[in-house]
Structure formats: structure tokens, C-alpha cells
Amino acid sequence: MADDSAQSLKPGALLAAMRQKNPLVQNITNFVAMNIAANVMLAAGASPAMVHSPEEAAEFAGIAAALTVNIGTLSPDFFDGMKQAAEAASEAGKPWILDPVAHFATAYRRAAVSALLEHRPTVIRGNASEIITLAGEHASGQGVDSGDSVASAQAAARALAIRHGCVVAVTGERDFVTDGHRAVHVLGGSALMPKVTALGCSLTCVIGGFAATMPDKPFEATVAALALFASAGELAGRDAHAPGSFAVRFLDLLAEVTPDAVDAVARVIPA
């Protein structure tokens, strides 16, 4: 099929498709990320809705084309909304993305992520420490920052992808994406990206935007989201050299970057 050709699944083409569709994505994310994640999604070409309350989260999951769940500032009310929305999305066959922020830090987070995994996320995105510990291994993260390299998380990512039948993305200096069988690196970005809070959380939401655009291609959707960030980040890093101005330029570039520029700047290579 034409849609399955290598050309039409390149990140640039998928970005064009997302901008065309402007999919509605429900994001249950943390208080730090809510504003920047919404701005990132609008710039990238998706329509974000932050709807978390147990009173409506499942109903809204029936309206949105995809769901993202991020446990960054977890609390019982948000957790109830997350579970209900994840269950509703899963039952409706809609993609949902899990961002297990610092799940290894406390017992509460570990239990929450275990419960969320039962609803079979389509994609898991985390930093190296988060992915390593999610696979049951020992990591060296501090707080919400990763103490491990992406390279050291590759085996854990593959194991996790196979165990849960999902795509796993490990992001950092050199991103790694696998569905347990295929695997690629996505290169690009800027050293300033971890200096802007919640860009990783925002990326999780953007994966939701791409997954909503091509729900049966979560591997390609995830790679496209990472390539968009890698290219916009790399281009922004050429113009801005400190975190405040970098964040502004990065938002601009998420909107300005062309599909061709995404394919030219981000390097997607087999792992």
C-alpha cells in the first residue's frame, strides 16, 4: 500500500499528516508541564485538551483521538482520572502514551505505574533511568533526572516493549525507539533541551498527536515525534544559547519547521 511505503512513513510526511488532521489529544499531565505542553502541541499542529478529573476523564477519552498520561505531580484524584481514561482509551482501541516520570522515586509512584501498565499503553516514553527501572533493573537517577545513558537502557527498552507489547522510547542525548523487534536511534536536538523544564513531558504529548494521526503505526508515530523534537531542537540551538531564549525559539521552530527540514536535520538510523 502507498501508505506503508518508506517514503510516506518518514517523519516529515507524518508531520504533514498531523498538521492536516490537527487531532484532538487528551493529556493528563503534571502541573509543571500543562502550559508548555499545550503550547508545544499547538505549535506542532495538534489540538491539546487537558482533562483529568475522574468525573469526566473517561467520557472525554471517548471524544479524543488519543490519550497521554504523565505521573509527574501525581495525586489520588489525578490517578483515578488516569486509570479511567486509560481504560476507556484501551477499550476503544485508541492509542495512549505513558510517561512514568520518576516512578522509581517513591512507593506511591511505583504502584501507580504498575496499575497503569495493566491498561496496556501503546507507547511508553521515559529517560534512561525510568526505562531501566521499569524493566526491573537497577538505575542511578536522581529525582526526575536520569543518571543513566540511553545506551545503557537499550536492552531494558527491548525487554519492556516485548513484555507489554508496546513501543518504548528512551529519550536523552541519543534517543532510542523500539517495538521489541525494530529499533532506531533518533539524533539531533540540543544540550539546552534538558535545561527547559517539561520538554520531555511535552514530547510525550506530541507522541500522542502523531499516534492519533496514524493509530495503527505507533512505532513510526513515535519516531516522527522524536524527529520533530530533534530537528526543532537542533535548529533552535543554532540561534539561541541560553534556556529562556532557547525555549522561545524552540516553540517557534516547532511551528516553522517544514517536513523536509525535519527529514534533513533529524537523523533516524537503525540501532
Q: Which grid cell is 214?
A: 496514524
Residue 18 touches its own copies, criterion: CB under 8 A: no
Instruction: Decide whether 172 or 180 has the Cβ nearer to its own copies.
Output: 172
Task: Identify the CA nearest to 74 among candidates 45, 97, 105.
Answer: 105
Shortest distance in whole angstroms from residue 243 CB to its own copies = 5
Residue 255 touches its own copies, criterion: CB under 8 A: yes
Instruction: Decide whether 180 or 209 has the Cβ nearer to its own copies.
Output: 209
User: Given candidates 250, 259, 262, 265, which one binds its own copies under the rule CB under 8 A?
Assistant: 250
Residue 113 touches its own copies, criterion: CB under 8 A: no
Is 50 labelled as part of a ligand binding site? yes
Shortest distance in whole angstroms from residue 117 CB to its own copies = 19
Angstrom distance (rounded) from CA 149 to CA 127: 9
Q: What is the DSSP string of 170-239?
A: E-SSSEEEESSS-EEEEE---TTGGGSTTHHHHHHHHHHHHHHHSTT-HHHHHHHHHHHHHHHHHHHHHH
Strand order in the sheet with 24-28: 47-49, 24-28, 66-70, 96-99, 123-126, 167-170, 175-178, 183-187, 267-270
Total chain residues near its own copies (CB under 8 A): 59
Residue 60 touches its own copies, criterion: CB under 8 A: yes
Residue 239 touches its own copies, criterion: CB under 8 A: no
Residue 76 touches its own copies, criterion: CB under 8 A: yes
Shortest distance in whole angstroms from residue 40 CB to its own copies = 9
Within 13 Å of residue 74, how many CA atoms lie on the same side as its CB? 24
Angstrom distance (rounded) from CA 3 to CA 26: 26
Is 125 labelled as part of a ligand binding site? yes
Residue 155 touches its own copies, criterion: CB under 8 A: no
User: Given candidates 9, 12, 52, 220, which one binds its own copies under the rule CB under 8 A?
Assistant: 52
Going from the C-alpha of 217 to that of each of 7, 123, 181, the distances in angstroms are 14, 11, 14
Q: Parallel, antiparallel, or unpaired: how do β-strands 183-187 and 175-178 relate?
A: antiparallel
- Residues annotated in a binding site: 50, 125, 171, 198
Q: Which residues sit in the known binding site for substrate?
A: 50, 198
Q: Which residues bind its own copies (CB under 8 A)?
A: 24, 30-36, 38-39, 42-43, 47-53, 55-56, 59-60, 63-64, 72-77, 102, 105-109, 142-145, 194-198, 242-245, 247-253, 255-256
